[in-house]
Amino acid sequence: MLTFAEENYLKAIYHLSDGGKKGVATNDVSHAMRTKPASVTDMMQKLGEKGVIEYRKYYGVHLTEDGRKLALQTIRKQRIWEVFLVEKLKFSWDEVHEVADELEHVRSQILVQRLDEYLGYPKFDPHGDPIPDEFGEVKSRPRFPLSELEVGASGQIVAVKDSSAAFLKYLDKVGAYIGARIKVLDKVEFDGSVEILVDGKKSIFMSKDVAMNILVMQ
């Protein structure tokens, strides 16, 4: 059984390791968790003991298969709660993070099952991220940053990479949303900024920084 803190660390490691593939540095976990590196080292050693990560002194950590599954179970809960908050309680997609970050730790299998059922077994959360199944499997659809689309190319917004309130509020303001059909009208070579057409009617201009954080599929 993992504690709240352990679950949070595991989630952070999962995200930083790109789904368990890459190794993760102490400093990066420290940054993500907003704790000091010394605290991270402590926790890494404990998680190592528990067998959910492989910890090699001075060389960062890797998730074990067990660790990956546990991380995904928490992520599953987080995303299901996010769907609930947006679909049922009318939260906006920029308000759900904090709350879901607490709700995800509520321990009850039956609760997640019933909630999932109640929501109609959603496949994606409000930010377009896939909801893992109860066995820790994620089937992610191919997606890439909008910044990589060529001029003239079309696609559909399927997710956001950054889900900070600031970024999401900006997207709301300019009218970009998950599911929108888009086409790249122009691209400035100098700074990578782009102009896109949304749903065949509205044209939006955005910096490369923004375009990199919008994920599309074709």
Residues at the site binding DNA, with contacts judged by CB under 7 A? 3-6, 25-28, 30, 33-46, 55, 57-60
Decide if residue 38 touches a copy of itself (CB under 8 A): no
Distances (CA, A) of 5 to 33, 35, 119, 181: 10, 11, 28, 39
Binding site for Mn ion (CB under 5 A): 8, 82, 101, 125, 127, 129
CB of 27 to DNA, least distance (A): 3
Residue 82 or 94: the one with the smaller Cβ distance to Mn ion is: 82
| C-beta contacts of 114-118 below 8 A and 24+ residues apart | 115/80, 115/81, 115/84, 116/80, 118/84
Euclidean distance between CA atoms 83 and 140, whole angstroms: 17
Q: What does 108 bind: a copy of itself, Mn ion, DNA, none (CB cut-off 5 to 8 Å by kind)?
A: a copy of itself
Binds a copy of itself by CB under 8 A, chosen from 110, 139, 173, 189: 110
Residue 20 or 130: the one with the smaller Cβ distance to Mn ion is: 130
CB of 24 to a copy of itself, least distance (A): 29
Could you report how far apart the first and last alpha carbons of the chain are, in Å? 41
Euclidean distance between CA atoms 141 and 218, whole angstroms: 11
